[in-house]
Amino acid sequence: MAVKPECIAMLLAGGQGSRLGILTKNIAKPAVPYGGKYRIIDFPLSNCVNSGIYTVGVLTQYQPLELNDYIGNGQPWDLDRANGGVHILSPYQQIKGTEWYKGTANAIYQNINFIERYDPEYVLILSGDHIYKMDYSKMLDFHKEKNADCTIAMLEVPWEEASRFGLMIVNDDGSISEFEEKPKNPRSNKASMGVYIFNWKKLRKYLIEDEAKEGSGNDFGHDVIPAMHNAGERMFAYQFDGYWKDVGTISSLWDANLDLLNPKVDLDLNDDSWKIYSRTPVAPPHYVGANARVENSMVTEGCEIEGSIDFSVLFANVTVEEGAEVKYSIVMPGTVIKKGAVVQYSIVAENAVIEEGAVVGESPENMADIKDWGVAVIGNGVTIGKGAKIAPDTMTDSDVGGAE
């Protein structure tokens, strides 16, 4: 080994993201498209390279085909390196038998050999579920400065939402005095972001102990971190200020996309000093036709727009024909929206076809009961027939015939 990396990252990308329903039927959650040309995993990967971490293990398990293909040799993120780079780590057969990754901690445990090859001082544990821009090197500086064994990134969430998160009660010096997992009556609004830095030697010891412990869920949040805390290890919380969003549900995915159109939201993807890299499709510039109208939207390469677009995010190679309307929607790559069709308050997955005059989704203002409202979702490759109507708050996974 040439230069020994001080810190390597392990990215947990095996999750199914079941709350995203049909969007994750064939792909893992980190591979879900976001923001016109990205996938969720682009954020932690780009954060790594922008923070100077060039050795990244990506742990995959659920529907890894598309994710593995997307990451490839890591070239779009400058992670095709002779020394380090990105490595896909899937569960593998061992002499004692084959095991799936049982939990987040077990996934790392099964890859101890991988980490040992690099023999790093520190290990950064990440998940592929969030949209945020974060300088991990600053967190590492904090970790070293506090002489910590484990540092957990946290951010202050609104009190009314606090009970949905894993919370920490933090002392004045930044050390953690107590953990609370999704409490009914929160005593803190400092939520864990699922980003951890460990001293590798310590973590290794606890992973082995945790694996031996019967009845352990082999999970960082539930098992390993509490064990370290109870044993009196130095646990610190590192405060992050900035945009951070879990895109685990349809409505949060929809929100997070539309956040890009809100100038008040603190998520600037146009920042040359902190680029978010992605594997981009080969497509010509997008074309906006003579009768088109595009306002307050994001449009990327390969799109051909003749209709009207408002408050929407269009991915590559989307076609919107004349007279079609797209409002408050996310339209993923390759989808065609034909003449006179209306797509509103919806997420349309890749390569779907919305035939002429079809109406997908509904505006919340037109609902008799707002409780029935929600984002309509159209699955991959689905065709919605001529004049068909798709109700709000539904998921459509197979073709829908035209209305007579």
At residue 375, φ and ψ (nearest 5 deg) are -75, 135
Supply the minimum distance, in Å, between the C-beta of residue 16 and another protein. 28
> Which tokens hold the place of 42?
């682009």
Distance CA 255, CA 338 (A): 25
* Span interacting with another protein, options 188-196, 208-216, 299-307, 386-394, rule CB under 8 A: 299-307
* Span interacting with another protein, options 53-61, 223-231, 292-300, 350-358, rule CB under 8 A: 292-300
Task: List Cα–Cα distances, 265 to 262, 298, 363, in angstroms.
Answer: 6, 15, 23
Q: Pick between residue 304 and residue 393 the one whose CB is nearest to another protein.
A: 304
Instruction: Tell how strand 190-199 and strand 122-127 pair up.
Output: antiparallel
Q: Which of 88, 169, 265, 269 binds another protein (CB under 8 A)?
A: 269
Supply the minimum distance, in Å, between the C-beta of residue 333 and another protein. 12
* Residue 277 in contact with another protein, rule: CB under 8 A: yes
Enclosing H/E stretch for 227: helix 225-230
Q: Pick between residue 50 and residue 189 the one whose CB is nearest to another protein.
A: 50
Amino acid at site 259: D
Q: Pick between residue 107 and residue 337 the one whose CB is nearest to another protein.
A: 337
Supply the minimum distance, in Å, between the C-beta of residue 331 and another protein. 12
Picking from 73, 102, 77, 84, the residue whose alpha carbon sits closest to that of residue 12 is 102
Length of the chain: 404
> Which tokens hold the place of 233?
């290890």
* Span interacting with another protein, options 29-37, 180-188, 196-204, 350-358, rule CB under 8 A: 29-37
Distance CA 255, CA 267 (A): 13
Q: Pick between residue 125 and residue 313 the one whose CB is nearest to another protein.
A: 313
Q: Pick between residue 42 and residue 180 the one whose CB is nearest to another protein.
A: 42
Alpha-helix runs per DSSP H in 76-223 = 104-109, 112-118, 136-145, 200-212
User: Is there a contact between 400 and 382 (Cβ–Cβ < 8 Å)?
Assistant: yes
Supply the minimum distance, in Å, between the C-beta of residue 191 and another protein. 28
* Span interacting with another protein, options 13-21, 22-30, 152-160, 293-301, rule CB under 8 A: 293-301
Per-residue contact flags (x/-) with another protein for residues 245 to 264, judged by CB under 8 A: ---------------xx---
Task: List Cα–Cα distances, 400 to 140, 294, 336, in angstroms.
Answer: 52, 28, 15
* Residue 36 in contact with another protein, rule: CB under 8 A: yes
> Which tokens hold the place of 334?
């390759």
Supply the minimum distance, in Å, between the C-beta of residue 315 and another protein. 8
Alpha-helix runs per DSSP H in 350-389 = none
* Residue 22 in contact with another protein, rule: CB under 8 A: no
Q: Pick between residue 276 and residue 388 the one whose CB is nearest to another protein.
A: 276
* Residue 76 in contact with another protein, rule: CB under 8 A: yes
Q: Pick between residue 52 and residue 401 the one whose CB is nearest to another protein.
A: 52
Residue 126 in 3-state DSSP?
Answer: strand
* Span interacting with another protein, options 21-29, 141-149, 269-277, 386-394, rule CB under 8 A: 269-277
Locate tokens 């024909």: which residue? 321
The residue ranges that bind another protein (CB under 8 A) are: 35-37, 75-76, 260-261, 269-270, 275-278, 280, 282-301, 309, 313-314
